[in-house]
A and B are shown apart, each in its own frame.
Chain A
Amino acid sequence: MREPTFLILTALANESRHGYGIVQEIQVLSAGRVRLLTGTLYTALDRLAAEGLVEHDREEVVDGRLRRYYRLTAEGLALLTAETARLRQLTTAAEARLRSVHPRTA
């Protein structure tokens, strides 16, 4: 799974969000490192919807602007859980190696 996909699924893990809300949440999750452009985000949302990982939740109109909210599906949640476990296992293994190289810094 690519990082933007992981971040989008993570952004939707605890609550449904609209497009710009997802962009903002991803910036928070990545400590400002990843800033998804709107075109990229919607292509990714289309793909995730087609794969059954996210779905439409509700619509709101705020200040005359249409906001469509998205949420994770059960499949999306399962995939995010599995991917998180995979990354945790890799991170744990990497940290163990780094501890043996740099005992104080790892």
Chain B
Amino acid sequence: MAGPLARRYRRLLLAYPRAYRRSRGEELLSALLDAALPERTRPTAQEAADLIRHGLRARLGRPASRTVVVWAVLSAIISGLFIAGFATRAAWETARPLPKTAEVRTMLAQILPGQEFTGIEDPQAMFVFNGQPLTWDTANDLLWGDGGEYAQSGIGGSVNGAPVIPPQDTVELAQHNLRAHGWTVYPTMTHNMYGCAGPPCDPATIPKSTTILARRSDTRFSMEVHSQYRSDTTSITAGFTRTTPWAVYPLGLTGGILGAVVAFLIFGWASRRTEGRHPAGAAVKKLLCVTLFFWWAPTLYAVPWTARHHLDEPHPSWHPMWEWLGQPTFSLLFLIGCGSALLGLAAAATEPRPDGEPLSTVASS
């Protein structure tokens, strides 16, 4: 069977797994050509969509299963999200290095002229764990509960004791100077520095902390000004971080799509391989459940939490994608899921019993 229509149908049949094409491809092609009008040279859009959709379904095997599609979609989505998370972390390497001490002093002098800041030190990395670059030695701590300490690094300093001008004037001056030097200033946030200790409690007497956020190009500025302080406590902290580099978005999107597609194909391979009477079929199903639990649970916990946090206060730059997935706070759970997934794939790769013929090929055998 040749001709442009047959060739185009064959191309669409690539959506089906290879074994399926070998056993049923000619039959499907015959039925397609029988159904086509003689003058047609191209499949209709409806036919193309139908073949792709059902070809992808055939890749999952287990034709009688009503849940395999759900499991495959869950696996593909979460895998795509995690791969996108890794891709965005890689893309963060394209961010400009943080400003050096001298540049920071210059910018702070523009924002609060005459105010001396102490403790300004060149950062050691763009992301740090407990203030230090992440190393294999500290990875253990990251896994066992301290993952939340892995965060974007910045450079800044603080003022101890009284600032040069009163706190409220400091806030207004900083906002004015930021705008004058081309910064976009976000609405300030004011928080009580502590809650009511108990009656009698007058909230007006509780010291306040005012936060200023601003952004200029790929730099984010934040400054916290405390309304009350002592000579030995901090009255102002100010720092600079980098905003999300543009490469994060295309790389994250590409990584996510590729990850989801690859995960779908791997899921389909394992599903087809373990259908029928595969010796590890039951174990593979259990390992899939374990994997999805340890991958989805932190994500379902972290997404609403991070979304609330984003809605509660202005964000010149969004938190990195992996934090939306609960990583690396729950990295131990993620690793357990990875281990379970690899075990499941290894079990699926074992040879099926000779009589473990997949049910889907019964009709064609």
Name A's B-contacting residues (CB within 8 A): 18-20, 23, 37-43, 45-47, 49-51, 54-56, 64-68, 70
Contacts known (A38-B32, A39-B54); A50 close to B46, Cβ less than 8 A = no
Name B's A-contacting residues (CB within 8 A): 1, 24, 26-35, 46-47, 50-51, 53-55, 57-58, 62-64, 359-360, 362-365
What's the least CB distance linking A1 to chain B, in Å?
13
A54 contact from B50, B62, B363, Cβ within 8 A: B363
Kindly report which residue of chain A lies nearest to residue B33, judged by CB atoms: A65
What's the least CB distance linking A4 to chain B, in Å?
13
Contact yes or no, B63 A20, CB < 8 A: no
Kindly report which residue of chain A lies nearest to residue B51, judged by CB atoms: A39
Q: Which residues of A contact B32 (CB under 8 A)?
A: 38
Total A-B contacts with CB atoms under 8 angstroms apart = 82
Q: Which residues of B contact A37 (CB under 8 A)?
A: 46-47, 50
17 pairs, CB–CB < 8 Å, chain A vs chain B: A18-B30, A20-B31, A37-B46, A38-B32, A39-B28, A39-B50, A42-B24, A42-B28, A43-B58, A45-B363, A50-B62, A56-B362, A66-B27, A66-B30, A67-B27, A68-B27, A70-B363
Kindly report which residue of chain A lies nearest to residue B35, judged by CB atoms: A20
Contact yes or no, B63 A38, CB < 8 A: no
Contact yes or no, B47 A41, CB < 8 A: no
What's the least CB distance linking A102 to chain B, in Å?
38
Kindly report which residue of chain A lies nearest to residue B365, judged by CB atoms: A56
Kindly report which residue of chain A lies nearest to residue B360, judged by CB atoms: A46
Contact yes or no, A51 B34, CB < 8 A: no
A56 contact from B28, B31, B64, B363, Cβ within 8 A: B363
A103 to B53, CA, bound (A): 47
Contact yes or no, B363 A38, CB < 8 A: no
A18 to B57, CA, bound (A): 21
Q: Which residues of B contact A65 (CB under 8 A)?
A: 1, 26, 29-30, 33-34
Contact yes or no, B359 A50, CB < 8 A: yes
A49 contact from B30, B33, B47, B363, Cβ within 8 A: B363
Kindly report which residue of chain A lies nearest to residue B12, judged by CB atoms: A39
What's the least CB distance linking B252 to chain A, in Å?
33
Q: Which residues of B contact A18 (CB under 8 A)?
A: 30-31
Q: Which residues of A contact B364 (CB under 8 A)?
A: 56, 68
The list of the 3 closest CB pairs from A to B, nearest first, reads A39-B54, A19-B31, A49-B363
Contact yes or no, B27 A39, CB < 8 A: no
A54 to B359, CA, bound (A): 12
Known: A65-B1, A68-B27. 18 other contacts (CB 8 A): A18-B30, A19-B30, A19-B34, A20-B30, A38-B47, A39-B28, A39-B47, A39-B51, A39-B54, A40-B54, A43-B57, A49-B63, A49-B360, A50-B362, A51-B64, A56-B362, A65-B29, A66-B26
